[in-house]
A and B are shown apart, each in its own frame.
Chain A
Amino acid sequence: MMQKTLLRVVIGGSILSYGTFLALILVGGLNTGLAPVLQEGVDAYTDPVPQALILTAIVIGFGMTAFQLALAYRTYQETGTDSLDELGRDGGDGEDA
Chain B
Amino acid sequence: MSWTLPVSVIVSIALGLAAPGLRRLFGAGLGRVLALWPLALFVYFLGLAPGIAEGEVWRASFRWFTVPAGWLPGGAGPFDVHFGFALDGLAFLFVLLITGVGALVMFYASSYLGKDENHGAFFAYLMLFVGAMLGVVLADNLFVMYLFWEMTSITSFLLIGFWSHRPESRAGALKALLVTAAGGLAFLAGAALILVAAGSVDLETLLAGGEGLRSSPLYPAMLVLVLLGAFTKSAQAPFHLWLPNAMEAPTPVSAYLHSAAMVKAGIYLIARMAPILGGTALWVLLVAGAGIVSLVLGAYLALRQTDLKAILAFSTISQLGLIIALFGWGTTAAVAAAVLHVLNHSVFKAALFMMVGIVDHETGTRDIRALRGLGAFMPVTAAVAMVAALALAGVPPLNGFVSKEMFFAASLETGPVLAGVPGGGVLAVLFPALAVLGSIFTFIYSLRISHGVFFGQGRPPAAAGGHGRPHDPPAGMWLPPVVLAALAVVLGVAPGLAEGSIVAPAARGVLGPVDVPHLALWHGFNAPLLMSAAVVALGLVAYARGPALDAVIGRLPVAPNMNALYDGFLDGLQKTADFVEKRLMTGFTRDYIAYMLGFLLVLLGVTAASVGPFSLQTDWPPQGSLEWAELLLAVLMAAVALSVPFFRSRVAAVVSMGAVGTGLVIMWTLFRAPDLALTTLVVEPVTLLLFLLVFVYLPRLTRDVFPKTARWVNVALAAGGGLATTLLLLGVRGLRADRTVADWYIENSLPLAHGANVVNVILVDFRGFDTMFEITVLALAGLGVYILSNLRFKGGPK
Q: Which residues on A are within 8 Å of B, measured CB to CB?
A: 1-9, 11-12, 14-15, 18-19, 21-23, 25-39, 45-49, 51-52, 54-56, 58-60, 62-67, 69-74, 76-78, 82, 84, 88, 91, 93-95, 97
Contact = CB atoms under 8 A, between A and B. Distances in A.
Contacts of A6: 698
B619 interface: no
A67 B622 contact: no
Most B C-beta atoms less than 10 A away, residue of A31, A34, A77: A31
Secondary structure call for the B interface: helix
Contact of B657 (A15, A19, A21, A49): A15
B729 A27 contact: yes
B784 A31 contact: no
B672 A1 contact: no
A33 B758 CA distance: 14
5 contacts: A4-B705, A7-B653, A9-B590, A48-B762, A93-B587
Contact of A63 (B588, B674, B781): B781
A36 B758 contact: yes
A58 B664 CA distance: 11
A63 B687 CA distance: 9
Nearest to B781: A63
A77 B797 CA distance: 8
Given A70-B788, A77-B697, A5 B704 contact: yes
Interface in B571-610: 585-590, 593-594
A34 B750 CA distance: 16
A74 B767 CA distance: 36
A78 to B, nearest CB: 6
Contact of B702 (A5, A27, A60): A5
B762 to A, nearest CB: 4
Given A2-B714, A48-B745, A37 B694 contact: no
Interface in B772-798: 774, 777-778, 781-782, 784-785, 788-789, 791, 793, 796-797
A-side interface mostly? helix
B759 A36 contact: yes
Interface in B658-676: 660-661, 664, 667, 670-676
A93 to B, nearest CB: 4
Interface in B606-635: 622-626
A86 to B, nearest CB: 12
Interface stretch (B273-281, B419-427, B731-739): B731-739
Closest 7 CB pairs between A and B? Answer: A63-B781, A94-B587, A31-B624, A36-B758, A97-B587, A35-B672, A70-B785
Given A31-B672, A55-B675, A4 B704 contact: yes
A35 B673 contact: yes
B436 interface: no
A58 B672 CA distance: 17
B645 to A, nearest CB: 7
A63 to B, nearest CB: 4
B701 interface: yes
Interface residues of B, number: 86
B321 to A, nearest CB: 50
A74 B790 CA distance: 9
B590 A4 contact: yes
Contact of A51 (B734, B759, B785): B759
B657 A11 contact: yes
Nearest to A30: B624
A2 B672 contact: no
B686 interface: yes
B771 interface: yes
A37 B755 CA distance: 9
B626 A31 contact: yes
A22 to B, nearest CB: 7
Contacts of B377: none
Contacts of A8: 645, 653, 701, 704
Interface in B146-165: none
Given A3-B590, A51-B759, 13 more contacts: A12-B645, A22-B667, A25-B671, A29-B734, A30-B626, A36-B757, A37-B757, A45-B758, A58-B679, A63-B781, A67-B784, A77-B797, A88-B588
B741 interface: yes
B617 to A, nearest CB: 10
Contacts of B593: 1-2
B393 to A, nearest CB: 59
Contacts of A26: 729, 733
A63 B777 contact: yes
B588 A82 contact: no
Interface string B672-690: 1111100110010011001
Given A8-B704, A15-B641, A88-B588, A58 B759 contact: no
Nearest to A81: B699
Contacts of B679: 55, 58-59
Contacts of A12: 644-645
B623 A58 contact: no
Contacts of A51: 673, 675-676, 759
Contact of A7 (B672, B673, B698, B705): B698
A63 B661 CA distance: 15
Contact of A11 (B589, B654, B739, B782): B654
A49 B661 contact: no
Contacts of A71: 784, 788
Contacts of B697: 73, 76-77
B594 to A, nearest CB: 6
Contacts of A95: 587
B66 interface: no
B397 to A, nearest CB: 69
B736 A29 contact: yes
A70 B763 contact: no
Which of A36, A45, A82 counts the most chain B CB atoms within 10 A?
Answer: A36
Given A11-B654, A45-B758, A56 B622 contact: no
Contacts of B788: 67, 70-71, 73-74
A22 B641 CA distance: 13
Give the residue among B653, B706, B778 with the most A Cβ atoms within 10 A: B778
A34 B735 CA distance: 20
A68 B637 CA distance: 24
Given A11-B654, A52-B762, A82-B698, A67 B587 contact: no
Contacts of B706: 4
B20 to A, nearest CB: 35
A63 B50 CA distance: 81
Contact of B725 (A23, A33, A48, A49): A23
B729 A66 contact: no
A78 B697 CA distance: 11
